[in-house]
Structure 1
């Protein structure tokens, strides 16, 4: 227990030291209107400096994140396969995959996955 507490305090001390050092040695910037705006010979910019992109990207990104998290949830099932009965292991894994597949089917039928519409 004492070893864990010591390791915790060392980790907190090293993290705090790194945060302090990075703030001290970082490039200091003062955000004002001139520094944030694009340079156009001293005049105000005519257009926005950011390039807009399709809002349809966000549902695709969220579906990707859901399936990415699904993989991280399914990976431990292989590790616990020896500690629980095989039927319970298969039912829990299959039920989880069925729920995720039904969610994907719903997204597909709703039209969220169609990029060009």
Structure 2
């Protein structure tokens, strides 16, 4: 086992040790999952939305949305973003034709493209 693998496993073990028994059980049963986020920092809380979204902010937000399990989490996360920032994030998510959308419509489209798509795909695979 290489040193980076050992270091990563130690970090995962440290993280798991801080979880409740119910959270560990959810992971073990596949009802929860771990996600890898960019090392530039943790996802921003909604109150910390930037005045203009840098490429790093957009990447962090995209990764954070990819790790979320519910649409309402994504909506709350994006609630303080400006329409300009949301358009940058929409472009990162591959959405087109968003220039004339209102902020709430942008949030819904981004959440549907990121979180909703994954949830819908998972539900279809389980049928």
**What TM-score bracket applies, with the shorter chain setting the length?**
under 0.3
Normalised by the size of structure 2, how large is the TM-score? 0.26
Normalised by the size of structure 1, how large is the TM-score? 0.28
Larger radius of gyration: 1
